[in-house]
A = this chain, B = another copy of it.
Amino acid sequence: MQEGNLANALGVVKRNIPRADKAAIAALARFGVATIHEAMGRVGLMKPYVRPIFAGAHVCGPAVTVLLQPGDNWMLHVAAEQIRDGDVVVAACTTDCEDGFFGELLATSYRARGARGLVIDGGVRDTKELAAMPFPVFSRAVSAKGTVKSTLGSVNIPVVCAGAVVHPGDVVVADDDGVVVVPSAAAAKTADAAEARERNEVDKRAQLAAGVLGLDMYKMREPLARAGLRYID
Give residues in A with beta carbon < 8 Å to B: 1-5, 7-16, 32-34, 37-38, 41-45, 47-48, 51, 55-56, 69-72, 74, 77-78, 80-81, 94-100, 103-106, 108-109, 111-113, 123, 125-128, 141-146, 148-152, 158, 160, 163-165, 167, 170, 175-178, 180, 183-186, 201, 204-205, 208-215, 218, 220, 224, 227-233
The complex places the Cα of A48 from the Cα of B142 at a distance, in Å, of: 6
Given contact pairs A32-B126, A71-B95, A81-B215, A142 touches B51 in the complex (Cβ within 8 A): yes
What are 8 sample pairs from A and B whose C-beta atoms fall under 8 A apart? A4-B165, A38-B146, A48-B143, A112-B211, A126-B177, A127-B177, A128-B175, A150-B150
Given contacts A151-B150, A224-B78, A45 and B229 within 8 Å (CB-CB)? no
A81 partner residues in chain B, CB cutoff 8 A: 213, 215
* B contact residues around A150 at 8 Å (CB): 148, 150-151, 227
For residue A214, which residue of chain B has the nearest CB?
Answer: B77
Shortest Cβ distance from A87 into chain B, in angstroms? 15
A106 CB to closest chain B CB, in angstroms? 7
Which residue of chain B has its CB nearest to the CB of A210? B112
Q: Is the CB of B4 within 8 A of A126?
A: no
Nearest-CB residue, chain B, relative to A99: B95
Q: Complex formed: what's the CA distance from A17 to B208 in Å? A: 24
Q: Smallest CB–CB gap between A214 and chain B, Å?
A: 4
Assuming the contacts A151-B150, A232-B15, asked whether A214 and B48 have C-beta atoms less than 8 A apart, the reply is no
With contacts A177-B125, A220-B149 known, is A96 near B47, CB below 8 A? Answer: yes
Which residues of chain B are near A33, meaning CB under 8 Å?
A: 144
Q: How far, in angstroms, from A97 to B232 measured CA to CA in the complex? A: 28
